[in-house]
Structure 1
């Protein structure tokens, strides 16, 4: 702690804000506690997730090509740090279809300030638009325009929908535009969701013990609003994790849960205390709930950010705050549970300062290849011809990480 980064490491390194040749190493003030029979270490800020250690596989050697938020989020979600490519959820629903006819196959939920990359993170890219992630809002109607307009009966709305479908079908027959077929499917799904969505969102059938385990009644800490966010991220994240379980039970194929922002360039320990308190209890509860209901073996849970944070202090100290950490693409961690993942292990290792992998490095393409494999999909064969090329999630790279798989 406090030593300069070795010149052999800092030379030629490009970071978002920090000059790596001048910055000093910053040790962690947190305790890392061994959990479970496996003994995997988790920060003392994450006791609930840590209590699930025996069901979790941690990857310590992730690395990515991008060091700024939007490109890195795109790479984590679509395999490429550029706009226009399908997201992981779109590829999975494209490859496997949906198990429900009355809810979207791919749903997005968000708490906190939301992902800075916005809708591009769940885009269907060049795949049909029916595979795009559908955002469920945290307040009011989950999806706008699902309710029948005031004064319009359900029968009248259905008649209107049938008329629109007939017009769209004629247009489709005339033009052959596949997006018209997608539009027809979207209208029909929206109509069916009018009955399915209220049941999904009605939590009255959940026991008090379940609601308490997720922390749905948690209050937002006073005087601890994160970077201007004034909502209750704690309660929203709890609700979203519970809704994710209910969606899985109802056949939703892929659910994205977002919480932001973890961009700790300054005030690191204070902001980590807040953000960890938002996610720790509900994510731990989700894992235990899925396991108790016999759903974890068939449900893959992944927890990750778009990149890591530097082991050196960020010299960009805003507002006189104590220093934080800069963006770090060379090494970071994620964890996976359920869905065929070999639990209770740590895969990969970095050098002593956490700068870069020295054992079992896992690139984003490798992670995506592994994820698709766990869904029963071959990343080399799942492709779509676009612009004269057969494009896939893993581009021209990607190897399945065999150590993560149950034998």
Structure 2
């Protein structure tokens, strides 16, 4: 009979320090070990580990909205009361070293108000999102020791500034698997190319089938979203026969040479691509949504990305990233206040609509 492990002998991936254990940076840093354990448990478990779980797992999929360029959180979700107190001053205990010579401390020009039953302070820049405050959990423990955008993008997506580790979407795809064999388990939506581009959704040393599938959703029709999706030269039966033949040849090769992650990844990608021909156009067709739903999300690339993310999540895609735009549009070095207002208007309605839509469809339960 399996004996329970005493609490004193339980292995922890985190520091015993409760503060260090709860920071997002440590969580991202340990993501590989954590999800790797999930992947191993999924492969080996027969149901005997349920007694070790403190809570029943509820989250099954992730929608990650990424404002590339980095919004200043002091304008959005993290009011800084000491900036008001010391406005215009340079307190001796504050480290104000910057690239350029600057004046004193500058508080945000935007007002905050308590929102939802918890009273979370949210900026006046996001009035509609503030109405959905009870669906939010705001974490203010994020910090970094690297001030540059490129390394920060890697740190946020891959858990390290070195471009050699799998992205978090790849870890989740590998650890939890797919809920829909006809679509990729990890999809990246971006109207253009963010800084660092595909290294942000790489699978690195994990099988290639777990890397993000990049889709430029700025084009208007589902047929053009994924280039060369349909094979016009061969019908479905002929393609199925081709896939079966190539799969048999590849598996014969694997039986002779042993495991080959790259070959296995190509094999899975080919099989997924074949099945996507007959399901992807449906998943990416926003015209199937009612007029009321499309109006709820509003117009623009980010609104379309949020609505597509909901449709993909409904269909079992495990991890969906929605990048705001090409390059790093949130890097507001000049005319910051006006740019912050303009950018905030373009995300407020879509984010609020996504939260409302997910709740109404039972996808937040």
TM-score (norm 2): 0.70
Cα displacement (A) at 1:96: 0.9
Find the counterpart in structure 2 of residue 45 from structure 1. 125
Q: Do the aligned residues in 1 keep the contact of 2:207 with 2:264 (CA within 8 Å)? A: no
Q: Does 1:242 align with 2:307?
A: yes
Moved more, 204-213 or 282-291: 204-213
Q: Does 1:106 align with 2:186?
A: yes
Q: Does 1:267 align with 2:335?
A: yes
* CA displacement, residues 147-172 of structure 1 (integer Å, 9 cap, x when unaligned): 113x4323333333333323323332
* CA displacement, residues 290-309 of structure 1 (integer Å, 9 cap, x when unaligned): 00111112xxxxxxxxxxxx
Distance 1:18-1:115 versus aligned 2 partners, 3 A rule: farther
Find the counterpart in structure 1 of residue 215 from structure 2. 136
Q: Do the aligned residues in 1 keep the contact of 2:88 with 2:105 (CA within 8 Å)? A: yes
> 2:89, 2:196 → 1: CA distance?
33
Q: Do the aligned residues in 2 keep the contact of 1:69 with 1:117 (CA within 8 Å)? A: no
Q: Does 1:254 align with 2:254?
A: no
Find the counterpart in structure 2 of residue 10 from structure 1. 95
* CA displacement, residues 84-136 of structure 1 (integer Å, 9 cap, x when unaligned): 1011111111111111111111111114x542121111111211111111112
> 2:187, 2:153 → 1: CA distance?
17
Q: Return the structure number with greater helix share.
A: 2
Output the aligned Cα RMSD.
1.9
Find the counterpart in structure 2 of residue 189 from structure 1. 272
> 2:193, 2:349 → 1: CA distance?
19
* CA displacement, residues 204-245 of structure 1 (integer Å, 9 cap, x when unaligned): 332221111001xx3xxxxxxxxxxxxxxxx11111111111
Find the counterpart in structure 2 of residue 119 from structure 1. 198
Secondary structure of the structure 2 residue equivalent to 1:41? strand
**What aligned pairs does 1:273-292 form with structure 2 within 5 A after superposition?**
273-292=341-360
Q: Do the aligned residues in 1 keep the contact of 2:206 with 2:261 (CA within 8 Å)? A: no
Cα displacement (A) at 1:40: 1.6
Find the counterpart in structure 2 of residue 179 from structure 1. 262
* CA displacement, residues 255-295 of structure 1 (integer Å, 9 cap, x when unaligned): 11111421011110111112111211111100000001111
What are the ranges of 5 or more consecutive residues in structure 1 without an aligned counterpart?
A: 219-234, 298-407
Equivalent of 2:141 in 39, 52, 61: 61
Q: Do the aligned residues in 2 keep the contact of 1:46 with 1:280 (CA within 8 Å)? A: yes
> 1:73, 1:118 → 2: CA distance?
10
Secondary structure of the structure 2 residue equivalent to 1:256? strand
* CA displacement, residues 55-104 of structure 1 (integer Å, 9 cap, x when unaligned): 21112232123211111111111111110101111111111111111111
Q: Does 1:157 align with 2:239?
A: yes
> 1:96, 1:154 → 2: CA distance?
30
Q: Do the aligned residues in 2 keep the contact of 1:48 with 1:284 (CA within 8 Å)? A: yes
Find the counterpart in structure 1 of residue 250 from structure 2. 168
> 1:10, 1:53 → 2: CA distance?
33
Find the counterpart in structure 1 of residue 45 from structure 2. none
Q: Return the structure number with greater strand share.
A: 1
* CA displacement, residues 326-376 of structure 1 (integer Å, 9 cap, x when unaligned): xxxxxxxxxxxxxxxxxxxxxxxxxxxxxxxxxxxxxxxxxxxxxxxxxxx
Find the counterpart in structure 2 of residue 209 from structure 1. 292
> 1:104, 1:278 → 2: CA distance?
28
> 1:55, 1:236 → 2: CA distance?
24
